[in-house]
Structure 1
Amino acid sequence: MVIVLQSEAELRQRAWDAAASVVDPEIPVLTIADLGVLRDVVLDNGKIEVAITPTYSGCPAMNMISLEIEIALERAGFRQAKVRTVLSPAWTTDWMSEEGRRKLQAYGIAPPQATGSRRALFGEQVVACPQCGSANTELLSEFGSTSCKALWRCKACCEPFDYFKCH
């Protein structure tokens, strides 16, 4: 029998990879790493602690995400891992990865705009349709299929779509 010892950095990376594989239950094409919800993984005295930040303070998916992280870590060989919710600093769409933004677009959800968008300057928001790419769109409701999305419609292709709201 050969016993292979891993360094703390290797253990932490293995735990990060396991936690990062957890998908958002509301948008299953995104992992929590894509969203920027996964904030940190710490190895302390042989125990793993994962820090996550909700997309907004009342996000109903956080309990499921915490449970899925614990399961993923258990499967990766980490016993009694702890998941901690961190509210400060507050989550921002700036934490989303470019890969996550591409996945949203491909899934039919308009990704959040950069914080320096036209809306920030002039109070106007232009959201491109994820189906046809037209900027001729209109806001139907500030509330979409989940609280973190708004419902828009494309005037060019007439399709409704969700827009992942900026935070």
Structure 2
Amino acid sequence: MVDQAQTRAWAAAASVPDPEVPCVTVEDLGILRWVRVEGNVAVAGVTPTYSGCPAVLAIEFAIEAALREAGFEARIERVMSPPWTTDWVTPEGREKLRAYGIAPPEQATGSKLALFGETTVACPRCGSTHTERLSEFGSTACKAQYRCLSCSEPFDYFKCI
């Protein structure tokens, strides 16, 4: 039997949008690792996308607020191991990124080409792989700026980590 408090706490925490990429939630990104309920305290484990991510505190505060709104006392535990990878972005999260106009990350695990930026990035608007990288950094450090040479539209690519 699934504990109703546990289900409610997970749903509250999982619904928090990423402040830098609001089309996806912390669940979609795979940074919400777990939520457990201890009495009336909901404890959420969160793994930052990278150690220097400026949104880490905002995400943790938003998850804490969501848990409090759901009727729990709240605590956040930052989970650093294993480190987050873009492979943890869910299929739903990848589709949400694409629909928002951001090319989702390639699978990074075991791929030296993906990790060092030598990937083929498909345009999220027209699907063409005839694209070029304009800048290693886009609107945030976790994205690179690309341009589609088929439809001429610029777009962000959520880089592999």
TM normalised by structure 1 equals 0.88
> Does residue 157 in structure 1 map to residue 151 in structure 2?
yes
Mapped to 1, the partners of 2:50 and 2:112 lie a distance apart of 23
- Tell me the SS of whatever aligns to 1:55: coil
Task: Report the alpha carbon displacement of residue 159 of structure 1 after superposing the two structures with TM.
Answer: 1.2
> Are the aligned partners of 1:118 and 1:125 in contact in 2 as well (CA < 8 Å)?
no
Mapped to 2, the partners of 1:16 and 1:159 lie a distance apart of 38
Mapped to 1, the partners of 2:78 and 2:97 lie a distance apart of 24
Identity %: 59
> Does residue 114 in structure 1 map to residue 107 in structure 2?
yes
Return the letter of the residue paired with 1:51.
G
**More moved, 66-75 vs 119-128:** 119-128
Return the letter of the residue paired with 1:110.
A
TM normalised by structure 2 equals 0.91
> Are the aligned partners of 2:115 and 2:160 in contact in 1 as well (CA < 8 Å)?
no
1:102 maps to which of 85, 95, 98 = 95
> Are the aligned partners of 1:8 and 1:43 in contact in 2 as well (CA < 8 Å)?
no
- Tell me the SS of whatever aligns to 1:12: helix
User: Which aligned runs of 4 or more in structure 1 are off by greater than 6 angstroms?
Assistant: none
- Tell me the SS of whatever aligns to 1:88: coil
Uncovered stretches (5+) of structure 1, i.e. residues with no partner: 1-6
Mapped to 1, the partners of 2:147 and 2:62 lie a distance apart of 34
CA separation of 1:122 and 1:50: change in aligned 2, threshold 3 A: closer
> Does residue 21 in structure 1 map to residue 23 in structure 2?
no
Task: Report the alpha carbon displacement of residue 42 of structure 1 after superposing the two structures with TM.
Answer: 1.6
- Tell me the SS of whatever aligns to 1:40: strand
Mapped to 2, the partners of 1:130 and 1:109 lie a distance apart of 6
- Tell me the SS of whatever aligns to 1:15: helix
- Tell me the SS of whatever aligns to 1:162: strand
Mapped to 2, the partners of 1:123 and 1:162 lie a distance apart of 14
Task: Report the alpha carbon displacement of residue 142 of structure 1 after superposing the two structures with TM.
Answer: 1.1
What is the number of equivalent residue pairs in this alignment? Answer: 160
Mapped to 1, the partners of 2:16 and 2:115 lie a distance apart of 36
Mapped to 1, the partners of 2:9 and 2:17 lie a distance apart of 15
Mapped to 2, the partners of 1:37 and 1:120 lie a distance apart of 20
Number of the residue aligned with 1:12: 6
Cα offsets for 1:102-156 (capped at 9, x unmatched):
0000000000112366935997310001111110001111111101101111111
Mapped to 2, the partners of 1:133 and 1:13 lie a distance apart of 37
> Are the aligned partners of 2:9 and 2:70 in contact in 1 as well (CA < 8 Å)?
yes
Cα offsets for 1:47-81 (capped at 9, x unmatched):
221010111111111111111111111111102x1
